[in-house]
Chain A
Amino acid sequence: MLSIAVRLTRYAGWFALLASSGVIVVTIVWQSIDGFGAVDMPTARLRRLFVNTIWMSACATVMALGLAIPAAFALVQARREWQRQCLLVLTIIPLMTMPSVFAYAWLLLATSSHPLIQQLTRLVGWNSPGAEPFHAAWVLATWLWPIPALIMAVSFKHIGAATYRLACVDASAVRAFFFGALPVMRAPLIAACAIVFILAAIDSTVPPLMLSFDVWAVEMVAQAGMARHDARASAHLLLMEWPMLVMLALFVLSAMPGIRQMAAWADDVGAGDTGLNPKTASWVWGVALILVAAVTVFPIVVFVTTMASGRYPPAESFQRAFDAVRSQGSSTLIVMLAAAACALAVSLTVVDGPGWPRPLRIAGVIAVGLVLTTAVLPPPLIGTALISFYADENISPSDRWNLYENTPTVWVAAMLARFVFIPVCIMRLLNRRVPQDVVDQARADGASRIQSLACARLPMLWRSWLAGAMLVACLTLSEVVASELVQPPQWGGGSLAVQVDGFMHYGRHNQTIAMGMMMMAPAVPAAVLMLSLVGLPDRRRIIRAARDKKAL
């Protein structure tokens, strides 16, 4: 039965993949076929937006690095396992939270009437004219810094530790990290910077909240809304988006050496745990914890203090927020669960092994290529392509209801296209860690390909498999732009994230603050659960191996 379930899940995964990423790629290519040769050169206004976007994203990347380096240093230098786990949970939370929440918190802080806050904002020039792009860059940095932090921590574990220990011979821990370890981790660091830059460049929710409207992504959202009524909407948007796509492609290429290097670590099972480092003072972890907690927990602090002085009592505010989000909450929850389920199925399509037939292995590579392609596409292009196919082509098995208008299918497809690359990459990489002799033994015992997948590979991968799906669910909850474009007109109440983001544009309001906190709440247990699924088993194996080695 298990192997039948696995087989059916793989079929469903292919179906979901083709219905999401496949449809997007085919629609864009199909609609563009007639359009090539009519590439729009950006107008002066669009060129200005493009330059603004590069500037803002570059600042966000630098600031994110500034936050990430001390956090990464503390992550690798934590003297106790529980310290590292605490830091990891705090590091992961921002990634699983809606970026608008961070933007709103900074907006509330900047518009606070508290004399001390006003003095501080005046001191740093927060409200100086023309500072809005820096505000947006800073908020993006506070959202995206976990990416370089985690990449640096993993890189240190695999390649930086040896150089670091060597440098520690006659340098302080901090100097050894900065001048010994970081240069060795150059390629992954560049990859991390490229990822942050890309995510900052395609984000269109933070800049408007920080009053930085002159960025490319914001303009493209408006264009996507108007392209809906164009017969070749995807081509229209693609031809407008080509400068951004070229830039994204360049950044992806620059990140490839680092990504390849990190992918190779998937085979390196016994990579060293840094363990206790006697050179690092224990206060280092404390300072890093305060910094990381301050950045991560900062929105909560601002929300609580603002709500305390607001018009409605907190309990009433939460009640009003709950009433307001009830209809959107249930439809968003359904889409989250559906996206997570589809992510589980899709990520199973890329799990194969050396003994599998060549066509299936090629299919797995194609699946990875599809999901990575749609992962770097800007959300407006994803939403427009899906609407073009499902709505305009009236794809429906029935006359009585429409797949786009009456079901969340297109919404789920958009979320898959945006985020399924995460569990797909996780499964693809971790599958390489499964000992081949275990699989060979199963095959020798008469297990088929699917049975060996179900009974030999999956038991070793299921934790990461679930963690990837959980991440997709959390990111689905936070997605604004793609959700807004593809919300079904006659199903459910719409996206919770879209509603909350909309409210955040209208100043301080206790109900909006309550909504922001509700949006942040799932990230905490999700982060803890993810770590318990992914972090501990590997660590236990490493510690056990070290202990066995010691005994020998």
Chain B
Amino acid sequence: MMCRRLRVTVLILPFFVVAAFSGGCDRPAVDESAVERVFGRAGRALGEFHYPRGIAVSPIDGRVFVVDKTARVQRFSPDGEVEHHWRMPEWKNGKPTGLYVDGHNRVWVPDTHYHRVICYDRDGREQFRFGSRGEGPGQFIFPTAVLLDDEGYIYVGEYGGNDRISKFSPDREYLFSFADQGEGWVDRPTEILMDKDDILWVADACNRRICQYTRDGKFIRAFPIGGNEPGQFSFPFGMAFERSGTLLIADRCNNRIVRMDRLGKELESWGTQGRGKGQLLQPWGVAVGSGGRIYCLDSWNYRVQVINW
């Protein structure tokens, strides 16, 4: 009887142990070779991040600006050495989720949970602010993206009630809103860019697509469909144009950076899910610096990976 029990126990136990450990899979291949450097780590000290969610590179001097959940905007050299930082005036309600640096080296911060946009110089001195909470013309609810075009017009994307993009004059006078109805109706526009042909590109995150509009807000087209197959996005969050004209997209929930041509065709992608070098976890943004360096905002890993890809 004892032998039988022992035999059965010995036979069944390994299966149980294996079942308890099941679900493991081989680690996916990691492309470390493209990673030039990594800067930032978890923390609240200078040069450290607590869940960074916005990144932008100055077109003038290549400085990198990052905003995180400590409501700090930090300025880094192109090599990732921290130079300066400042804090948003208020942050109790929440912290900004985007960042933009214009051609005058001014840092535009959509202060998401305070429903306004604040503009700073490169040293963090506030230049002006505009916007208030509301659904009316010129008001915001959760602004997430800002763009200044070459004529000085300001575009602000918002969501969480308004789901639109508003255009303002260089004097910050409200002009009109678009992308708020029909086929071009956005759902969480997280990044707005303008290309050399004056076409607006919008990362329409919750609709899982990239949309194009004219300067006057007319919807042109959108691509592609949401998913995690090649050519599909799961919440495109950040975008940046490379010098060659191709578009880089931070595909947040697929944990990768996608390179796409102007016709919407995916050319290649970089990054896999994970915490190691060459891996990404919930990348919120991507920016292109001098010399073609790509700065990937690896948000859940509390760092920025600089890749040459």
CB neighbours (8 Å) of B41 from chain A are: 229
Say yes or no for A511: interface residue by CB 8 A criterion. Answer: yes
Encoded as 1 (CB less than 8 Å from any B CB) or 0, chain A from 488 to 510 comes to 01110100000000000111110
Query: With A7-B9, A401-B26, A490-B28 as given contacts, are A506 and B159 in contact (CB-CB < 8 Å)?
Result: yes
Say yes or no for B50: interface residue by CB 8 A criterion. Answer: yes
CB-based contact A226/B42 at 8 Å: yes
Say yes or no for B233: interface residue by CB 8 A criterion. Answer: no
CB neighbours (8 Å) of B188 from chain A are: 506
Segment among B16-24, B242-250, B287-295 that sits at the interface with chain A: B16-24
Say yes or no for A311: interface residue by CB 8 A criterion. Answer: yes
Determine the main DSSP class of B at the interface with A. Answer: loop
A226 and B160 CA atoms in complex are apart in Å by 29
Partner of B26, one of A226, A400, A407, A408: A400
Say yes or no for A397: interface residue by CB 8 A criterion. Answer: yes
Interface members, chain B 75-116 (any A CB < 8 Å):
92-94
Segment among B118-126, B165-173, B258-266, B273-281 that sits at the interface with chain A: B273-281
Partner of B23, one of A4, A214, A491, A511: A491
Say yes or no for B51: interface residue by CB 8 A criterion. Answer: yes
Encoded as 1 (CB less than 8 Å from any A CB) or 0, chain B from 26 to 57 comes to 11100000000000011110001011000000
Q: Quote the shortest CB–CB distance from B224 to chain A (angstroms).
A: 15
Q: Which residue of B lies closest to A488 (CB)?
A: B23
CB neighbours (8 Å) of A229 from chain B are: 41-43
CB-based contact B50/A222 at 8 Å: yes
Say yes or no for A81: interface residue by CB 8 A criterion. Answer: no
A401 and B27 CA atoms in complex are apart in Å by 6
CB neighbours (8 Å) of A491 from chain B are: 23-25
Q: Quote the shortest CB–CB distance from A421 to chain B (angstroms).
A: 21
CB-based contact A214/B92 at 8 Å: yes
CB-based contact B25/A490 at 8 Å: yes
CB neighbours (8 Å) of A418 from chain B are: none
Say yes or no for A228: interface residue by CB 8 A criterion. Answer: yes
Q: Quote the shortest CB–CB distance from A4 to chain B (angstroms).
A: 6
CB-based contact B281/A506 at 8 Å: no
Which of A402, A405, A408 gathers most chain B CB within 10 Å? Answer: A405
CB-based contact A511/B43 at 8 Å: no
A357 and B275 CA atoms in complex are apart in Å by 48
A402 and B185 CA atoms in complex are apart in Å by 43
Q: Quote the shortest CB–CB distance from A279 to chain B (angstroms).
A: 51
Say yes or no for B5: interface residue by CB 8 A criterion. Answer: yes
Query: With A8-B13, A225-B50, A490-B273 as given contacts, are A406 and B27 in contact (CB-CB < 8 Å)?
Result: yes
Top-4 shortest CB links A-B: A507-B160, A401-B24, A506-B160, A406-B24
Chain B positions near chain A (C-beta within 8 angstroms): 5, 8-9, 12-13, 16, 20-28, 41-44, 48, 50-51, 69, 92-94, 135, 141-142, 159-161, 163, 185, 187-188, 206, 226, 228, 253, 273-275, 279, 281, 302
User: A229-B42, A489-B279, A490-B27 known; 20 other A-B pairs, CB under 8 Å?
Assistant: A4-B5, A4-B12, A8-B12, A12-B20, A229-B43, A311-B163, A311-B187, A320-B206, A327-B228, A401-B27, A403-B21, A408-B23, A409-B21, A489-B274, A489-B281, A506-B188, A507-B160, A508-B161, A509-B159, A509-B160
Chain A positions near chain B (C-beta within 8 angstroms): 4, 7-8, 11-12, 15, 111, 113, 211, 213-214, 222, 225-226, 228-229, 311, 320, 323, 327, 334, 397-398, 400-403, 405-409, 489-491, 493, 505-509, 511
- 27 A-B pairs whose Cβ atoms sit less than 8 Å apart in the complex: A4-B8, A7-B9, A8-B9, A8-B13, A12-B16, A111-B161, A225-B51, A225-B302, A226-B50, A229-B41, A229-B42, A229-B43, A311-B185, A323-B226, A401-B26, A403-B24, A405-B274, A405-B275, A407-B21, A407-B23, A409-B21, A489-B281, A490-B25, A491-B23, A491-B24, A493-B253, A508-B160
